[in-house]
Amino acid sequence: MKQRWRNATLITPRGEAARDLLVENGRFAAIVERDSSTSEDWQSVDIAGKIVFPGIIDLLQHGLDINLYNDTVDGAVAHSSQLLLARGATAFLPSISCLPRGTLERTLERLSAQTEQATGARALGVHSEGPCFASPGAHNVQNIVPPSVELAHAMLAAANGRLRAVTLAPELPNAEAFIGTLKKAGVSIHLGHSRAKAEHVSRYVSWGIDAVTHMYNVMPNEPPGTMGLHIVSLTDALLAERGLALGLICDGIHVDPTVMRILAQLPEDRTFLETDANKHAGSAGAQEFEFYPGYWVTSAPGKAVVDRQGGLCGSSLTPDEAMRNYVNLVGVDLTRAAHATSLVPARVLGLESEMGSIEAGKLADFAVLDPATMAVEQTIVGGELLYRRAA
């Protein structure tokens, strides 16, 4: 089908454009002037000045609504892929936490198979957050294991080609070989839950690290020096790595808005939003659940996910909420927001030629937003309208 989306405000990588958008065979065909002509076989879709925003890509999502991906309940990924359409998300990585050997492989196998069942937002593969950590955070410390080539091969085999990202602490012994094995298979490597020393970060990045998982969270600061001088910390060193993409949980809780504004001043290819959403994200009201045996946490809208001692265990964010927070709490414009929600995540996975922005030749994945509230009104995946908000 040929479609001409008329009277739109397009959010492109170079800025807002008051132009029409041509979509053909599931891809963006062109951006044209509003007064230009097309043949009669183009279907006209007039959206009367609404915003056309690139589909949001969430690279770290442990759960949504009733789904917790560790549980691999049948149909969970397919269910989330439908729910995400109302949130303007057109692609995501269902993610798992640190799991014991055996359970890890079985979970990767089942969850990876479920990604093939997604009929809404694209399930691009699986993100394994762990199990090779230096700091557990909210993960089960008993499930942390050292990296090894054998572990890398076991994870790759279990995921059957669908392991797309792994978060690890690169300072652990044998991490370089572990990373190298995963990189050869096309896996994106993310630094996280790390106690790496600042002076070693450049070397670790040279091994093939693409991104940082939830910047500033579960990352130690160094105490001041004896003369009161600032000692360079892990987060300082990560900021200094020019080619490294920094993931941000943009709820105003995991990272203070003042610090988020610092990240927003970096070059536009540096910061990306990831929800780190847990079970019951997007649900109404507070709900308690067992994240792993014996560890109970509560998810509440706008209050993140916390355990019974008040410790953080992921967010209650949805992708559209994160986008609006980036605009409203940080003060970025929609062009900058689109880089963080869509283009940078696509680049982290090596998919920027296929998705992540409104540019000719890319997959026609986008959302139509209300210009006043930035609420999602429609979501289109591969040129097909899959969600329309009820009047």
Q: Answer whether residue 60 is part of any domain.
A: no
Whether residue 342 is found in the same domain as residue 383: no
**CA dist 24 → 5, 31, 45, 124, 203 (Å):** 11, 12, 13, 22, 45
pLDDT class of 391 with cuts at 50, 70, 90 = confident
Q: Is the pLDDT of residue 1 over 90?
A: no
The per-residue pLDDT of the chain, averaged, comes to: 97
- Per-residue tokens: 371: 């210009």
| CATH number, position 371 | 2.30.40.10
What would the mean pLDDT of 1-5 be, rounded to a whole number?
A: 94
112 within a domain of the structure (yes/no): yes
Residue 39 shares a structural domain with residue 147: no
**294, exposed or middle or buried, with CB in 10 Å at 0-12, 13-18, 19+?**
exposed
Please indicate, yes or no, if residue 59 is contained in any of the structural domains: no
- pLDDT for the residue 91: 98
Same-domain status, 194 and 263 = yes
* 180 and 43 inside one domain: no
Rounded Cα distance between 143 and 156, Å, is 18
Share of the chain above pLDDT 70, in %: 100
Residue 58 placed within a domain: no
Residue-range definition of the domain harbouring residue 280: 65-348
Residue 19 scores a pLDDT above 90: yes
Q: Give the pLDDT band (50/70/90) at residue 225.
A: confident
* pLDDT score recorded for residue 132: 98
Q: What are the tokens at 195?
A: 């106690």
- Same domain assignment for residues 104 and 80: yes
The count of other CB atoms within 10 Å of the CB of residue 65 is 18
Backbone angles phi, psi at 131, to 5 degrees: -100, 20
Give tens-digit pLDDT for 351-379: 999 999 999 999 999 999 999 999 999 99
Cβ proximity of 218 and 209 under 8 Å:
no
Strand bridging mode 20-24 / 63-64? unpaired
Q: How many domains does the chain have?
A: 2
Q: Are residues 38 and 106 in the same domain?
A: no
Question: Do the domain assignments include residue 256?
Answer: yes
Q: What is the pLDDT of residue 224?
A: 87
Q: How far apart are CA 54 and CA 30, in angstroms?
A: 14
In terms of domains, do 288 and 189 share one?
A: yes
Residue with tokens 């706008």: 302
DSSP code for 71: G
Give the model's pLDDT for residue 209: 98
166 in the same domain as 71: yes
Cis check: omega of the bond before 319, within 30 degrees of 0: no
Q: Is residue 244 part of a domain?
A: yes
pLDDT at residue 226 in the model? 82
Decide if 189 is inside a domain: yes
Pair 369, 343 in one domain: no
CATH, residue 244: 3.20.20.140
pTM: 0.97
Note whether 270 and 200 are same-domain residues.
yes
Instruction: State pLDDT tens for residues 54-108.
Output: 999 999 999 999 999 999 999 999 999 999 999 999 999 999 999 999 999 999 9
Same domain, residue pair 244 and 298: yes
Give 100-122 pLDDT, tens digit per residue. 999 999 999 999 999 999 999 99
Burial 140-171 (b: 16+ CB within 10 A, else e): beebbbebbeebbebbbebbeebbbbbbbbbb
Do residue 42 and residue 187 come from a single domain? Answer: no
Does a structural domain hold residue 115? yes
Q: What are the structure tokens assigned to 17, written together?
A: 């454009």
d(CA 31, CA 10) in angstroms, rounded, equals 9
